[in-house]
Structure 1
Amino acid sequence: MKLGIVGAGMIVKDFLSISHLLKDIELEAICGTPRSEDTLNELKDKYGIKKVFCDYDELLNSDLDIIYIGVPNNLHFEFAKKALDADKNVIVEKPFTSTYKESLILSDLARKKKLFLFEAITNQYFPNYKKIKELLPTLGNIKIVQCNYSQYSSRYDSFKEGKVLPAFDPKFSGGALMDLNIYNIHYVVGLFGKPENVEYYPNIERGIDTSGVLILDYGKFKCVCVGAKDCKAPIANNIQGDKGCIYQDTPANVCKRFELLMNDGTSSEVNENNYEHRMVNEFIEFSDAVKNNDLERCYKMLDHSLIVSEVQTIARHKGGIIFPVDDFTETES
């Protein structure tokens, strides 16, 4: 599978560091802005990428099977749509898009053209996460779910000094919900589906959420998701049922070992992840789906991404966080 990469930032470098483990993926090309050309060429030489482009249209006109989009959040929709319009399969980094409406447009276009469209969201593909899903019935009736991903950002120091970087800029679709809490939303929605109601209580500075508490109401149980970039706390995911709980002390984006703690006093530790790096499993599954022309698997994950996109859009609007691309004709509940 011939892969074209868009971007030269941290997430792209992270992906390239594990690309040698992806036997079905050929690093055909990388594309960025003219000002990043030196970095692009360094990455080309380091990882054996065949071609460098500084023009996205030229990249799309080349012989590629799939495009991996690792650009700032606010550009995900524009770059993904352009790739789909050019009949290219697409992997787009999380968060899928800035708004639910954008997600629907991409989803409809991919299905119409019978193209693959994936959101690169790590936790859905970990063996540990799949094991948690398998063990849920042993917990009895779920009562409370808690996910806390609080990680103090060095960029917050700059933000307090008046320097606004993309991670804290509404123009770039930044903020704690889009950066950290989005992993919690994926984690919960992947296990329990679409919530009945969404509420978001953010700490807002200069129009962006530096941290916030997301409440997902599932009727018979409640879920609290905390995402913070302006403070830190022990990271934990807890799924509490009336027969026992699952406790995990790693972030939702890496989903490492977890404990199964039962009310009868028995406990066990589980760790079935087979790769140390968080990005390997997702890209293996992406390439396997494309290789086997498994659109059904792709579109099932796309349906999941749509629910997450709808949840984050509703949450932002209820919390008063508005992006330039927001369209208030979108349906909210």
Structure 2
Amino acid sequence: MVRFGVVGTNWITERLLEAAVQVEGFELTAIFSRTAEKANAFADQYQAEHRFTNLEEMAASEHLDAVYIATPNTLHAAQAELFLRNGKHVLCEKPLAANSAEVGRMIEVARKHDVLLMEAMKSTVLPVFRMVQSHLHKIGPVRKYVASYCQYSSRYDKYKEGVVLNAFKPELANGALMDLGVYCLYPLITLFGAPQQVQAQAMMLDSGVDGQGSVLLNYEGLEAVVTYSKISNSYVPTEIMGERGSILIDKIGSPEQAEIRYNDGTVENIAADQTHPVMYYEVEEFVKLIEEGRRESDINTYERSLVTMQVMDRIRKQIGLVFPND
């Protein structure tokens, strides 16, 4: 069994734990929260034996082998490095850090201490996305990638009332790009690598973060269009267009359905058997890597995490989105 601790007692941690209990080899043993009351309540709920309010003590503990980090983006790098230096494997929520310099440093620390670091980008480890990868050649040379993740945030209602919650705070390295845009960019880079050119624009909010944005990314013979928003909804699928047909993906952030529409009018369903909760598959991949003694995922690789963050750095520079970590 791989003994896990979690840092961050929020809704995303709850979703992960609900899925992780189905993963063979996963065992929750430790909870960290800033207050003993919340740590105890969360640990009781999920039957974790050990509770911590001191992160250094948790990192040095002999009661865990790995940790899942789901704290604000500004804290990812420092917290991950603390656990990595203590020989703990780290599954860290997306985006992996606040900027590419932090990602590069995290990778160096993981390699130095011979432990596993993986970005918890759930979409690229899902069976449906893996099917898209394996069928991509069928549509011929790819010419365009169009991805959208626009989801009206319930926290935006509070924002309009004058209450700025964490989702819209630049001091936590938040905003639409970091929260939703990354879901469009990471699969793009997984499929096609680093773009040659990046052109971005965004609607900035008074708090200092982006409420929505659009990005054009150019490759040799291929262009990509990415749109994202936390202040409006969109219901259009993601489309990868080739010379012989197009692949349509229902939701780029958590794909469940995909199909190929060929130029001759025929349609091929390439959806996979995806019976587990969406966050099951990232935990399964992470646990499998530990059990096999591997130190890097060949799906959510170091290079893909680094290149994605480098692209996001370029976008932020163009739109004027600045974080304290910079």
TM-score interval (norm. to shorter): over 0.9
CA distance in 2, matches of 1:185, 1:47: 33
Q: What SS does the aligned partner of 1:18 have?
A: helix
Q: What SS does the aligned partner of 1:132 have?
A: helix
Moved more, 283-292 or 8-17: 8-17
Q: Match of 1:129?
A: 129
Q: Match of 2:14?
A: 13
Give the CA RMSD over aligned residues.
Answer: 1.4
Q: Match of 1:197?
A: 197
Superposed structure 1 runs of 4+ greater than 4 Å apart: none
Aligned 8 A contact 1:117 1:298 in 2: no
Relative to structure 1, is the Cα distance of residues 215 and 316 closer, same or farther in structure 2, using a 3 angstrom cutoff? same
2:55 partner amino acid: Y
Aligned 8 A contact 2:19 2:276 in 1: no
Q: Match of 2:227?
A: 226
2:30 partner amino acid: A
State the Cα distance separating 1:300 from its structure 2 match.
Answer: 6.7
Aligned 8 A contact 1:140 1:242 in 2: yes
Q: Match of 1:330?
A: none
Please give the per-residue CA displacement for 1:144-171, whole angstroms capped at 9, x wherever unaligned.
1100111111111111222111111110
Q: What SS does the aligned partner of 2:259 have?
A: strand
Q: Match of 2:155?
A: 155
Please give the per-residue CA displacement for 1:56-84, whole angstroms capped at 9, x wherever unaligned.
11111211211111111111111111111
Aligned 8 A contact 1:128 1:256 in 2: yes
CA distance in 1, matches of 2:142, 2:298: 29
Gaps of 5+ in 2: none
Please give the per-residue CA displacement for 1:182-214, whole angstroms capped at 9, x wherever unaligned.
011111111111111112111111221000001
Q: Match of 2:168?
A: 168
Q: Match of 1:331?
A: none
Q: Match of 1:119?
A: 119
Aligned 8 A contact 1:248 1:258 in 2: yes
Q: Match of 1:295?
A: 295
Q: Match of 1:286?
A: 286
CA distance in 2, matches of 1:275, 1:56: 35
Please give the per-residue CA displacement for 1:85-117, whole angstroms capped at 9, x wherever unaligned.
222211110010000000000111111222110
Relative to structure 1, is the Cα distance of residues 296 and 181 closer, same or farther in structure 2, using a 3 angstrom cutoff? closer
Q: What SS does the aligned partner of 1:246 have?
A: strand
Q: What SS does the aligned partner of 2:21 have?
A: helix
2:48 partner amino acid: I
Q: What SS does the aligned partner of 2:213 have?
A: strand
Relative to structure 1, is the Cα distance of residues 296 and 60 closer, same or farther in structure 2, using a 3 angstrom cutoff? closer
Relative to structure 1, is the Cα distance of residues 253 and 78 closer, same or farther in structure 2, using a 3 angstrom cutoff? same
Q: Match of 1:329?
A: none
State the Cα distance separating 1:253 from its structure 2 match.
Answer: 2.0
Aligned 8 A contact 1:142 1:221 in 2: yes
Is 1:138 matched with 2:121?
Answer: no
Q: Match of 2:241?
A: 240
Aligned 8 A contact 2:124 2:299 in 1: no
Aligned 8 A contact 2:239 2:247 in 1: yes
Please give the per-residue CA displacement for 1:259-312, whole angstroms capped at 9, x wherever unaligned.
210001110222214234110011101000010102253697122111111111
Percent identity of paired positions between Structure 1 and Structure 2: 30
CA distance in 1, matches of 2:290, 2:48: 21
Gaps of 5+ in 1: 327-333
Aligned residue-pair number: 323
CA distance in 2, matches of 1:88, 1:20: 20
CA distance in 2, matches of 1:7, 1:134: 35
CA distance in 2, matches of 1:212, 1:77: 25
- The normalised TM-score by structure 1 is 0.94
Aligned 8 A contact 1:211 1:230 in 2: yes
